[in-house]
Chains A and B, each alone.
Chain A
Amino acid sequence: MATLIIEPTKKTPEINFNAEAGQLSLTGMSCSENALGFYQPIYQWLDENASIFPEGTTFLLKLKYYNTSSAKCILELLDKIASISSKNTPISITWDIDGDDDMRESAENYSSIIDYPIEIIG
């Protein structure tokens, strides 16, 4: 399947991944107490579809809130995107912080940990 769409809930984000269009986005809240259960299918989808990402593929994050259970999962997700980028098609990561200074700090911290550029907007 070349698309992965997960509707948002009060504690999980909206996922809209389209492999053929090269557009990946994660938006909303990520505050599930079992974040790993939510993110594991996303990792699996990325593994299965990374080979068909076209040139110019983008990954957009726009998170209102995330809890600490999600923090590790977001790191693994970003790490996976960076890894796909180095092995397959380059992917540009953009983080829309919506004017939130704490979120800017988070985005910069993740970029430093995965050693991969994250463009910060908003």
Chain B
Amino acid sequence: MNKISLTSHRKLTESNISFSFVGSIDVDIVDHVLAAVHTKLESETLSPGVKKRVYLVLVECLQNLCKQIESLNKTERVSTEINTSSASFAIEGVKGDFHIATANYIENEKIANLKNWLDEINSYDKTQLKQLYNKVLTNKSFSEQGGAGLGFIDIALKTGNKLIYDFETIDNEFSYFTINVKINNEI
């Protein structure tokens, strides 16, 4: 384990928030993290609008992560290489700008649809994103995991930034999906 030095302590203290997690993730863990981040954000000297955006984007990122893992746990595909319940996420805030990253395993057959969806969202401006949001909002359908299909659109709207993502192939069945979002101090 790396030693915590005075230098690393000072560096961490400069952050508004620095938090990372690796391991099996479920709804209870997500709820605890959200409560802790909410309390921490309330104590920060940021504008109420930024605090709210950071919290809501984190809610969408982590609930989406949980839904992807729930979906993966239902698959009959297995891998001896990886624990599909395992995932990771990190949140860091420096000088009011926040970065949120999540990572999880994904079945290779689901990559094409997800990539197309993220690319479509990234290709839209704010007006087009609002139109897409309303189109999905009014379709009344929910995924098997209770998802509304609005998460990534909402994140793009709330951050005003592109969704930075990557898929790394592990084997014939699975890949590793990472997504990074940035929330600027003032939008």
In the complex, identify which listed stretch (A67-75, A80-88, A89-97) lies at the interface while the others stay far away: A67-75
Give Cα A101 to B35, complex, Å: 24
Q: Given A65-B52, A113-B137, do A36 and B142 touch, yes or no (CB 8 Å)? A: yes
> Is A69 within 8 A of B147, CB to CB?
yes
Distance of B65 from chain A, by nearest CB (Å) = 10
In the complex the two chains form, what is the Cα distance from A69 to B150 in whole Å? 8
Overall SS of chain A's interface: helix
Assuming the contacts A11-B31, A33-B63, asked whether A69 and B146 have C-beta atoms less than 8 A apart, the reply is yes
Residues of A within 8 A of B99 (CB): none
Residue interface bits B120-139, CB-to-A below 8 A is 1, else 0: 00000000000000100110
B residues contacting the other copy or chain, number (CB 8 A): 27
- Say if the beta carbon of B12 comes within 8 Å of chain A: no
Contact B148 A71 (CB under 8 A): yes
A68 touches B60 (CB 8 A): yes
B59 at interface (Cβ–Cβ under 8 A)?
A: yes
Q: Are B137 and A71 in contact (CB-based, < 8 A)?
A: yes
B residues in contact with A37, CB < 8 Å = 146
**Given A33-B63, A35-B146, A68 contacting B138 (CB threshold 8 A):** no
Which residues 41-97 in B have Cβ within 8 Å of A in the complex? 48-49, 52, 55-56, 59-60, 63, 66-67
Contacts of B60 in A (CB 8 A): 67-68
Task: Write the residues of chain A forming the contact surface with B, with a CB cutoff of 8 angstroms.
Answer: 10-11, 31, 33-37, 65, 67-69, 71-72, 75-76, 100-102, 109, 113
Residues in B lying within 8 Å of A, measured CB to CB = 27, 30-31, 34-35, 48-49, 52, 55-56, 59-60, 63, 66-67, 134, 137-138, 140, 142, 146-148, 150-151, 153-154
7 further A-B contacts with Cβ under 8 Å, apart from A68-B151, A68-B154, are A11-B31, A35-B148, A67-B60, A68-B60, A75-B138, A113-B137, A113-B138
